[in-house]
Structure 1
C-alpha cells in the first residue's frame, strides 16, 4: 500500500507540474509533414531536444495526421517531466531486412515521462515479416521493435495503439516504476515474433486494462524482472502470458514476484506458461501468482515447460538449471481446446518446488474428459491441489508411486471429502 501511495503521489506531482508550467512543442512547428511519406525523424528530434533541455514540464505534441518516421531515439536525462502526446498516427518505413536497427521508436534514460494520446503506431509489419528468419534459426537479425523503453523511471504509457509491429510491439528494459494501461496491441495470429509486451531487467512494472491480440506471447516476462503486476488484460490470439523463456544465456538474472490476475485468454495457444531452456545456466524463478483467470478455447491452459526449444538445434545434453518454486494458481477456470488442462514438464535436475493449485476448473470444449499432457509431475517437490477432479487428471499419466509421497490435497474443497483423492492415489 505504501508503495502505491508513493507511486500515485509521484504521478500527481508530474501531472500538476505539467499543468502549471506547460510548454507545448508542436512537431509541425519543427517541420513535420503529415503526408505519410516524408521522414519526420529530424523534426521530431528537434522538438524533443527543446523539451528535454527546458526547465519545467513540456509537451511534445504530434497532432492528427499520418507521419512517417524513421528509426529514432528520444534520449535523456532531461531537465523536467515530459509528456509525449501522440494524437496522430505514426508510420514506420516499409520493408527489410534490417541491420543493427533494434527499435523503431525508443526512449532512453528519461525520468517522469508520459507517453499517451490515443494515436496509432503502424509498424508496417507485413512488408518485413517475410525477412524474419528467427523462427527457424538462432543465427538471424531480429526485426525492429516498434517502441522500446530503456532505463525509464517513474513513468506512464497509456492510450496507445500499436498495429502490425515488425517484431515486439512494446519492450521495457532496465526500467523502474512504470505503469502501462489502456494499450491496444494488434497483429495477425500468424505474424512472427510479434510479442505484445516484453519486460526484462525491470522492477515495479504494472500492466492493466489493455487488449493484446498478436502472433506471439501477449506478455513475456524475462531475465531480471521483479515485482510485475498484470491485471485486467485481454489476450488472444497469441501464445498466452509467459514467464520466460529463461536460461538460454549465461548472464541471466533471477525472476521473482510476478502476479497475473483478473485476465482473460481467448483462443490462445497457451494460457499461463513458465518456460526455460535445457542449459547449464542457473537462475531462480519464484513467487508467482496466477489468480482469477478466465480461459476460453485455450490449447494449453496451464503449462510449465522446462525443455523449451522452439527450433533446432536443441541442447538436450543437460537438464534446465532454472529453479521454479513458489507458484500459485488460484481460481483459474474456462475451457481447453485440447484434452490437456495442465502440463508440468519440470527440470529433472532442479524439480519444481511448492506448486499450489486451488479452485482450478477447466473443461474441454468438446466435453471430453481432460487429462494431463507431458508430465514429469513425479519430480515436483510439493504440489498442493484443492480440486480432486483435477488431481485425478494430473495423476492419470504421471508416475503414481512417485507422486504418492509428493502430493498433498485439501479435503474440504467445496465439501469434497478426500475419498476421491485417496482413491486416485491408491
Structure 2
C-alpha cells in the first residue's frame, strides 16, 4: 500500500513538466534588501502551471510569505534567509491554532513540486531565537520555518533547513504529500549555554490534521522531536530516517484540548536510527543537542484541563491505533521506548495521575535494537482510565546500561493483552 502511494504520487507529479508554459526567475537583490516581494510576484505570475526559479544565492526574507502553486514547480537553488528581527516576527508571523504557535512561510496549492536540488532551502537564523528563548519551551512568536498548508498531491524534495527558528517544518490540513531527501540541522553555538538545551522546539517535522503523508530519506540533527505526529494524523509513512535528537519518532503530544477528539491511526515506520550525539559539547562550548530521551515516544496529556496551551491543558479524548514500527535502532537513550499518559508542561501533580482517557492500542514493533544509558529500556506509563492493550513485540534486543538485561529494565503500568515482552513488570 505504501509503495503504491509513492508510485502514484510520482506519476501524478512527473507530468508537470509538459504543462509548464512560463518560467519566472528571481535574482537576489543583495545588501539585505527584502526579496519576499519579488518572490511573491513570481508566484503570482508563474505559480499556476509554470516554474519559479531562484538561482543559488541568499534571499533575504523579511516578511511572512504564502506561496501558492497549482500544477507548478519551485526550483530553489539557494537559501531563503529569514531576518533575525525577533520583535517583528513575533508581531507578524502567521498564527497556527494548535498550541497558539506561529509560521513564517506557507506553501499551499495542488499538484506541485518544490525542489531544493540538494543546495537550497531555508536558513532560519535560529541562533537568535535559541539564545532569546534560553531553554524555555514554546515561547510565543517563534515561527516555524515552513508549513505545507492546505495542499494536495505535492512533492518537496532535496531540501535543507538550517537553524530553524522553531519547528523546521509542518504538514497541516494536507493530503498526499511526499517529503523526501531532507536535511535539518538545529545547532546551538552560543557558548553561554553552559550545557543547557537551547535548541528546544526545533522539531524536524510535525503532521497535523493531515493524511497520506510520506517522509523518506531524512537526516535530522537537533534538540527536540525528529518527526512528530500531532492530532488527526492518519496514513503516515516514515522510511529511512536518521535522527540525532531529544526524541525520535514521537506520537503527540495529544489530548491537550478538552473539547477535542484526537486520532493517530495507520502509521507505518521502518528503517530508522535514533541516537544521542556522541559529543556533549561542540568546539566553542555550545551543546549540539539535548540528551536523547526516547527513540519511540508516546505522550498524551492528563485527563483534566489544567492551565492554558501551549504550556498547559489536558482533558482531550481519542485514540492511537494500527501503528507498525519496523527496523528501529536506538543508540544511548535514557529510555529507548517510552510512553507517558500524564503529560503536562507545568509541574506534575500526583492528583491528576491516571486520569488520561486517550487510548493507546494496536501498536506493533518488529526488530527493535539499541541501548540505554540507564537501567531501563522500556517504560510504559499507561493510565488506569485508559489502559494500553493489543501491543506486540517481535525480535527485540534492547540493552540497559551495564549490559545484562534484568526484570526491572522493562516497566509497564496498566498494560494488558500484549505479546513478546516476557519481562514486563508493573
- Alpha-carbon distance in 2 for matches of 1:277, 1:253: 11
Partner of 2:122: 121
Which structure carries more relative contact order (alpha carbon 8 Å, separation 6+)? 2
- Please list the CA deviations of residues 237-295 of structure 1 after superposition, one character each: whole Å capped at 9, or x if unmatched: 33221000111113242111111111111112211011001023211111111111111
- 1:89 aligned onto 2:79: yes
SS in 1 for 2:419: strand
- Alpha-carbon distance in 1 for matches of 2:348, 2:62: 35
SS in 2 for 1:340: coil
- 1:293 aligned onto 2:328: yes
- Alpha-carbon distance in 2 for matches of 1:141, 1:134: 13
- 1:340 aligned onto 2:380: no
- 1:220 aligned onto 2:228: yes
- 1:155 aligned onto 2:150: no
- Alpha-carbon distance in 2 for matches of 1:6, 1:255: 19
Partner of 2:297: 273
Structure 1: state its 5+ residue gaps: 399-426
**What's the RMSD between the two structures over aligned residues?**
2.3
Partner of 1:422: none
Partner of 2:393: 357
- 1:44 aligned onto 2:42: no
Partner of 1:309: 344
- Please list the CA deviations of residues 58-80 of structure 1 after superposition, one character each: whole Å capped at 9, or x if unmatched: 1111101111112333354x5x4
SS in 1 for 2:325: strand
Deviation (angstroms), 1:214: 1.0
- Alpha-carbon distance in 2 for matches of 1:21, 1:129: 41
* Conserved? CA contact 1:182–1:210, under 8 Å: yes
Alignment partner of 2:265 out of 245, 251, 256: 256
SS in 2 for 1:168: coil
Partner of 1:391: 422
* Conserved? CA contact 1:213–1:238, under 8 Å: no
- Alpha-carbon distance in 2 for matches of 1:259, 1:247: 21
Partner of 1:325: 361
Partner of 1:104: 104
- Alpha-carbon distance in 2 for matches of 1:381, 1:364: 23
Radius of gyration: which is bigger? 1
Closer, same or farther: CA 48–132 of 1 in aligned 2, 3 Å: same
Aligned residues: 377
SS in 1 for 2:416: coil
- Alpha-carbon distance in 1 for matches of 2:173, 2:336: 30
Deviation (angstroms), 1:13: 4.0
* Conserved? CA contact 2:19–2:50, under 8 Å: no
Deviation (angstroms), 1:310: 3.5
* Conserved? CA contact 2:200–2:224, under 8 Å: yes
Closer, same or farther: CA 40–289 of 1 in aligned 2, 3 Å: same
Closer, same or farther: CA 195–319 of 1 in aligned 2, 3 Å: same
Closer, same or farther: CA 175–260 of 1 in aligned 2, 3 Å: same
Partner of 1:417: none
Alignment partner of 2:247 out of 221, 239, 252: 239
Closer, same or farther: CA 391–71 of 1 in aligned 2, 3 Å: farther
- Alpha-carbon distance in 2 for matches of 1:350, 1:16: 48
Deviation (angstroms), 1:27: 1.2
- Alpha-carbon distance in 2 for matches of 1:323, 1:316: 20
Deviation (angstroms), 1:91: 0.7
Alignment partner of 2:29 out of 30, 33, 42: 33
Closer, same or farther: CA 111–187 of 1 in aligned 2, 3 Å: same
- The structure with the largest strand share of the pair is 2
- Please list the CA deviations of residues 95-140 of structure 1 after superposition, one character each: whole Å capped at 9, or x if unmatched: 42413512222113x001211122031111111223338936x7x4
- Please list the CA deviations of residues 269-328 of structure 1 after superposition, one character each: whole Å capped at 9, or x if unmatched: 211011001023211111111111111112211111111223337694361110110011
- Alpha-carbon distance in 2 for matches of 1:205, 1:58: 25
SS in 1 for 2:319: strand
- Alpha-carbon distance in 1 for matches of 2:130, 2:85: 8
- Alpha-carbon distance in 2 for matches of 1:370, 1:38: 62
Deviation (angstroms), 1:207: 0.5
Partner of 1:410: none
SS in 2 for 1:38: coil
SS in 1 for 2:14: helix
